[in-house]
Each structure stands twice: as C-alpha cells, then as structure tokens.
C-alpha cells in the first residue's frame, strides 16, 4: 500500500530480484485495485535508491553549518538518551521533550514515535492537522461521523459537483468512475477558483472568488428555497424550521457580490441542482482551509440533505472517511497528561510554554521549516532548543537545521499496515528488500532508545520494546476486530488489500450517527467572514497541491525543480506592475517574503497569484502564511484547522 497522505491509497506490487526492486506497479491481483499507479510512483521508487538518501546517522557541528559527521547508531542513541535524562533531571519533568510528527508516512507502526514519547511520561506533542480538521468537524456535527460513499456508486448520479477538488491530479483513480457516470448521463460541474485539469474535463465550470464557498453554498440554498426545491418537513432533520427561516432573511445581493458571479451563472447552477437527482458532491480539502471552512462544509451538507441527496446511491457529500475502520492504536501508548500543542499554532504556542519550556524537539514524517505556518516565529525560537533530532529519508530544510539526523526506512523495507481515509482500503506492506545502508524504521528507533534509556536509568521508558513487528500487529488487529471486516487475521492481507467498508452508500436510509439519529442543520450565520484584497495586499495567494508530489515530498526530483517557486498571475496586472514573463519577483506581506519567478496564466482572475506547494529547491509558500485558525476542528482532531488559503500578498520586481 502507498502510505502517503493521498485520497487513493493505492495497493502496490513490488517486483524484486537479487534483493533489489526492479519496478513497482498497481496491484492487479487484488479485485477492485488499480492496475496503474499515479505519476508520483516514479518518485516513490526513486526515493529508495536515490544518491542523496540518508543511509547513516549523522551529527552536525554547528546547527545549519553543513558540517556533518557520520556517527554510529550507538553514538546517536547515546547522545539523545543522555539529553532526555539530563532535561528530566534539570526540570523535574519530561514536558521539555517535544514530538512534532505528521503525514510523511501514515502507516500504523510509524506511530511508534508517539508510543516512545508517551512511555517517558507527560511530554509535549503536536495535535490536530493542517489538512482537513474543519471539514471533519463539520460532517461529524451534521451526520455524526465521517464516512464516504464508494466511488463505484457515482454511476447512479445524474449530477456530480466537484467542489474545490482536482482529482485529475490528486486522485486519478476516481476519474474512471467519473467518466463512467458521464457515459450514463451525469453532468459534471467543477467549482474552483483555479481552472484545474479537472475543470477542463468537466461539462461546466464555475470560477468563484477564493474563500467564497460559504457564500455560494448559502446562495444556492436561498435560491433553491425560493424555488420550493428544498424539503420543508422531515423527521430526519433537526433544526430544519430554524434553518429555513434563516434562509428567508438573507440578503442575497450581498452573497452574489461575495462570490463574484453573474445572476445567470447562479440561476443556471441552481437549475442544474433542482433538475438532476441524485446529485453527488465531492467537497475537497481546499475549500475548508478558510476562516469559515467548517461552515462551508456544513452548508454543502445541508444543500445535499435538503435536496434529498443523502443516503442514496449516486448522492451524498464525500469529504473524508475516518470511521470506516478504527484501530486500537496500542502502539501509541496514549496517556491523558500529554501537553498538546496545536500543530497549526506550533511556533506561536512554543513561545508561550515556559513551565517548563521545550528544550528537545524530535521531528518525524514532516519538513517543519517548510510546511509550518508562522515561520518567522519558528526561526526565532530555534536557538532556544538544546537538541533537535530529525528522522527522515533526505536532508530536508528542517534536517539541515537539526543537530542529529536519523535515517529511516521506506515502505518497501519493513512490515506495516495502512488504511486510507477516502478509498477505504486496508492493506499490508511486506518487506520487499532489506533496509538500505543503516536505515531503521521508527519502531526500531523507538526500541533502541527505550533499551538505552532503561540501561542508563531503569524504568525510564515503558515502551514494549520486546515486541516484534508481528506482535505489535497482533495487538492492533486482534482476530475479533479482523472478523468484523471479513478476515480471520491480519496475515490474510498478504493475499491482497481489502475494502473495509462493506456498505457502498454512506448514511443509507438516512440513518445517522448523531445523538438523536437525525441530520443536524447548522445555524445560519449572522455575518460571513470577509477576507478581501486591500491596497497594501491586493492579491489572493493560492497554493494548491502540485501534480508530481505530495506537499514537500520533493527530494527525489529536487534537481528537476527551479531554484525558486513559479508564481502564476494574469498578464493584465503583470503588465500594470511592469512584470515580464520569467522575471524574478518578491511576494510579501506582514508575515514574510518570498522570491519567485513569474509565469503568465490567462485563466487566473486578475486578483489571484498561484504557486504550487513543494515545487522549488528554495523558498516555501508558507513564509507568507501567519496561520490564522479556522472555525472548526477541535472535535475531531483536538485542535482547530488552519486557514491556509486565506493569504493576501503584494508583488514587485526583484
């Protein structure tokens, strides 16, 4: 299974000879799996044998100097263990130890990082997600949980609305289902500020103003209500009367101005929704990365529910599936006295932690110094950290500013289990080849550190280092749990991945998981959040996913990338500002600045600048992001989401 942070969660086959992988492919032996992999598959394999891959532990003499020295695992573990014990003694606490980990690899046993930290006592750890917190909360409030309909049900749809999602780039294995639905008569609408590859393939495209998804959903509900196209009575809905009453009081002219669309466009989209049933909406992660992103998803849920499109084949609102299969996560050794820090407010919060302060930072599965927001604050607090350890496959921006780097294995080099958050696959990663060099899994690193700590100070760590990988999986997937998904034990997954959700239709029959078993309408907001360009920052800055990589996982193709990010803008404002194609520019706002290279794109609105994530050797788009929190997220992930796309900038020639 591909364990990356991706919709598709592709089952894979690795073909080996003489201890080396020759090539990889989609798993054509598993029914329903994909025969082809996406364009990122070349990078997946190249990371294994790339000449720049980290193969040995290293220590840096002078943080950021590049003066690296290869050291043994014993030396690396000794330095870390003694620093942990030193901080514990000095502060009388393990809270100065901090773990910052996220989505570089979502496999189960990678959570040994959390288990190792939790075994030491109360520590400081990040919580939440920069990805989809607000949307998760929205659907949990509306439906009581987070589940999706399987993509094969799309063939029953008559209208498919792809709202803020670009599957032609980010989820290619759903495209055949979309084409099949179209062949059966479905119309496909894309709603997105950017004219994406998916938009080019759609029947209709609505280019709305960035961040106006909430206004558009509300406006569509108002227009449908006026057409008497919404349900007015239902024993399956809580708060319906209040919701409809709120719709009748809304000034639609303000909503129309907010979305920057013509009356004709809105009436046309309203007519499509009223005339086509079932309607399926796929709500992307990007549209909830705004200040009122959670509200946007809740209104989209209401749009579907009140038009009778929930719980039927071809209907529904697909966002993310977190409830398809719940693992006990024994390996994490969870405790209730962890000092949690919102991952989206990491730098800001770390500055406020003084009793005791954080002094050791362990980074895994992410490139903190490119992927975080509030980077100015983060760089300012970096010198206060006494030891920074990064576990990674490459010398990332963050690794370059660390004291010790620990080389980790890929998914081809150790045993693990992975379950997706959209396509509902559960599969096993078997060891295809031996670990390259001296690389080790996160689990093996946890074992090494646990053993040395307990040698130096018995009882320091309670992590079950004596368990093998197989024994950990026995605890995570006991036979009683396996039987609920139709297998005897996890070892059967060696025959191929399985779909863990047996019912293909989400909320079939409109049976919901809320406290009263009903759909919950959200309150109609008294006012929508306004986020508009100004004289100082006249451009929206949009930073979507690139086609060839996931977030900052670019190191296998780093040499192919430009020195600085490509920034796309319409030629009209470029001409006004004296900017020419390929010229160097500076983007700036109150949070920082970014060097870029101009490319013209006539499909962009004149007040939008676009740059794809992780698409350059130097510079990070998050240098311009202050990390404003969104409206929801704490219920599902422990912390609010982040308004990654609520960023305004200015631009000038360098």
Note whether 478 and 596 are same-domain residues. Answer: no
Residue of 326, 396, 337, 322 lying closest to 364 (CA atoms) = 396
> Into how many domains does the chain fold?
3
User: Could you tell me the CA-to-CA distances from 292 to 192, 212, 250, 286 in Å, in that order?
Assistant: 16, 9, 17, 12
Note whether 337 and 370 are same-domain residues. Answer: yes
SS (H, E, C) 401-422: CCCEEEEECCCCCCCEEEECCC
Residues of the chain with pLDDT under 70: 42, 552-557
The torsion defined by the Cα of 630, 635, 637 and 642, in degrees rounded to 10, comes to 0
pLDDT, residue 312, reads 98
Q: How far apart are CA 435 and CA 415, in angstroms?
A: 11
Q: Give percent of the chain above pLDDT 90.
A: 83
Note whether 332 and 315 are same-domain residues. Answer: no
> DSSP code of 209?
P
Q: How far apart are CA 138 and CA 319, in angstroms?
A: 10
What is the per-residue pLDDT across 537-581, written as a single tens digit (0 to 9) for each?
999 999 998 877 777 666 666 777 888 999 999 999 999 999 999
Note whether 109 and 216 are same-domain residues. Answer: no
Note whether 181 and 284 are same-domain residues. Answer: yes
CA 364 to the chain's CA centroid: 15
Give DSSP secondary structure letters for 481-549.
HHHTTT-SSGGGGGG--EES---SSTTGGG---STTSSEEPPPPPSSPPP----SSS-EEEE----SS-
Evaluate the omega torsion of the peptide bond into residue 632 and state whether it is cis, within 30 degrees of 0.
no
CB 252 within 8 A of CB 227: no
Strand runs labelled E in 88-203: 97-101, 124-127, 159-163, 187-191
Residue 227, domain member (yes or no): yes
Q: How far apart are CA 495 and CA 334, in angstroms?
A: 32
CB 12 within 8 A of CB 2: yes
Note whether 275 and 362 are same-domain residues. Answer: no
3-state secondary structure of 564: coil
Give DSSP secondary structure letters for 434-495.
PPSTT-B-HHHHHHHHHHHHHHHSTTS----TTS-HHHHHHHHS-HHHHHTTT-SSGGGGGG
Note whether 561 and 490 are same-domain residues. Answer: no
CATH of the domain at 468: 3.40.50.740
Q: What is the pTM (predicted TM-score) of this model?
A: 0.95
What is the per-residue pLDDT across 458-487, written as a single tens digit (0 to 9) for each?
999 999 999 999 999 999 999 999 998 899
Report the relative pairing of strands 648-653 and 539-542 from DSSP bridges: antiparallel
Q: How far apart are CA 83 and CA 452, in angstroms?
A: 12
Residue 513, domain member (yes or no): no
Q: How far apart are CA 203 and CA 574, in angstroms?
A: 31
Residue 3, domain member (yes or no): no
Residue 514, domain member (yes or no): no
CB atoms inside a 10 Å sphere around CB 452: 20
Residue 529, domain member (yes or no): no
The widest CA-to-CA distance across the chain, in whole angstroms, is 74
Domain residues for the domain of 569 are: 539-653
Q: How far apart are CA 341 and CA 129, in angstroms?
A: 11
Note whether 547 and 638 are same-domain residues. Answer: yes
Residue 530, domain member (yes or no): no
DSSP count for the chain of H helices, then E strands? 21, 26
Residue 580, domain member (yes or no): yes
Q: How far apart are CA 581 and CA 230, in angstroms?
A: 49
pLDDT, residue 553, reads 65
Q: How far apart are CA 304 and CA 298, in angstroms?
A: 10
3-state secondary structure of 269: helix
> DSSP code of 231?
-
pLDDT, residue 1, reads 80
CB 176 within 8 A of CB 146: no
Note whether 122 and 189 are same-domain residues. Answer: no
What is the per-residue pLDDT across 244-253, written as a single tens digit (0 to 9) for each?
999 999 999 9
pLDDT, residue 46, reads 87
């Amino acid at each position: 299974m591909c364990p990356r942070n991706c919709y598709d969660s592709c089952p894979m086959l690795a073909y080996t000879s003489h201890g080396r992988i020759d090539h990889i492919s989609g798993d054509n032996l598993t029914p329903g799996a994909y025969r082809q992999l996406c364009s990122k598959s070349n990078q997946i394999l190249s990371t294994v044998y790339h000449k720049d891959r980290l193969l040995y532990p290293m220590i840096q003499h002078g943080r950021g100097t590049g003066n690296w020295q290869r050291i043994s695992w014993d030396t690396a573990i000794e330095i870390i263990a003694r620093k942990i014990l030193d901080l514990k003694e000095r502060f009388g606490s393990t809270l100065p130890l901090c773990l910052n980990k996220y989505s570089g690899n979502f496999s189960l046993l990678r959570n040994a990082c959390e288990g190792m930290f939790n075994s030491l006592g109360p520590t400081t750890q990040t919580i939440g997600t920069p990805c989809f917190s607000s949307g998760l909360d929205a659907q949990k409030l509306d439906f009581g949980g987070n589940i999706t309909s399987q993509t094969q049900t799309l063939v029953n749809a008559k209208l498919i609305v792809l709202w803020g999602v670009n599957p032609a780039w980010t989820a290619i294995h759903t495209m055949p289902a979309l084409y099949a639905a179209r062949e059966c008569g479905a119309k496909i609408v894309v709603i997105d500020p950017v004219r994406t590859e998916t938009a080019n393939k759609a029947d209709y495209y609505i280019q709305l103003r960035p961040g106006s998804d909430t206004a558009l959903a509300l406006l569509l509900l108002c227009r449908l209500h006026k057409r008497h196209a919404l349900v007015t009575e239902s024993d399956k809905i809580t708060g319906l009367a209040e919701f409809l009453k709120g719709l009748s009081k809304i000034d639609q002219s303000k909503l129309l101005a907010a979305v920057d669309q013509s009356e004709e466009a809105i009436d046309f989209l309203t007519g499509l929704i009223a005339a086509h049933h079932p309607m399926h909406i796929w709500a992307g992660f990007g549209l909830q990365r705004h200040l009122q992103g959670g509200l946007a998803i809740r209104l989209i849920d209401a749009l579907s529910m009140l038009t009778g499109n929930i719980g039927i084949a071809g209907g529904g609102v697909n966002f993310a599936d977190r409830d398809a299969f719940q693992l006990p996560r024994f390996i994490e050794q969870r405790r209730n006295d962890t000092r949690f820090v919102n991952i989206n407010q990491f730098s800001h919060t770390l500055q406020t932690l003084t009793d005791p302060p954080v002094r050791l930072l362990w980074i895994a599965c992410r490139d903190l110094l490119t992927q975080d927001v509030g980077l100015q604050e983060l760089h300012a607090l970096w010198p206060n950290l006494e030891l920074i350890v990064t576990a990674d496959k490459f010398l990332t921006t963050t690794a370059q500013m660390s004291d010790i780097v620990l080389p980790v294995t890929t998914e081809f080099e150790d045993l693990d289990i992975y379950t997706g958050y959209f396509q509902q696959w559960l599969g096993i990663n078997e060891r295809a080849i031996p670990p390259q060099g001296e690389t080790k899994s996160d689990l093996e690193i946890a074992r090494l550190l646990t053993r040395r700590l307990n040698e130096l100070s018995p009882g320091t760590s309670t992590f079950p280092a004596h368990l093998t990988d197989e024994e950990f999986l026995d605890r995570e997937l006991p036979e009683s749990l396996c039987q609920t998904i139709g297998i005897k034990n996890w070892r059967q997954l060696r025959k191929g991945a399985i779909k863990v959700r047996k019912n293909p239709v989400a909320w079939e029959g409109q049976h919901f998981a809320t406290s009263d078993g009903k759909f919950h309408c959200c309150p109609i907001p008294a006012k929508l959040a306004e986020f508009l360009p100004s004289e100082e920052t006249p451009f929206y800055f949009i930073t979507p996913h690139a086609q060839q990589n996931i977030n900052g996982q670019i190191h296998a193709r780093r040499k192919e990338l430009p020195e600085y990010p490509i920034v796309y803008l319409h030629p009209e404002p470029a001409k006004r500002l004296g900017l020419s194609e390929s010229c160097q520019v500076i983007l700036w706002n109150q949070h920082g600045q970014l060097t870029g290279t101009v490319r013209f794109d006539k499909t962009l609105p004149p007040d939008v600048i676009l740059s794809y994530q992780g698409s350059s050797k130097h510079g990070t788009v998050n240098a311009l992001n202050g990390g404003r929190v969104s409206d929801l997220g704490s219920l599902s992930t422990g912390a609010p989401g982040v308004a990654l796309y609520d960023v305004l900038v200015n631009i000038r020639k360098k």
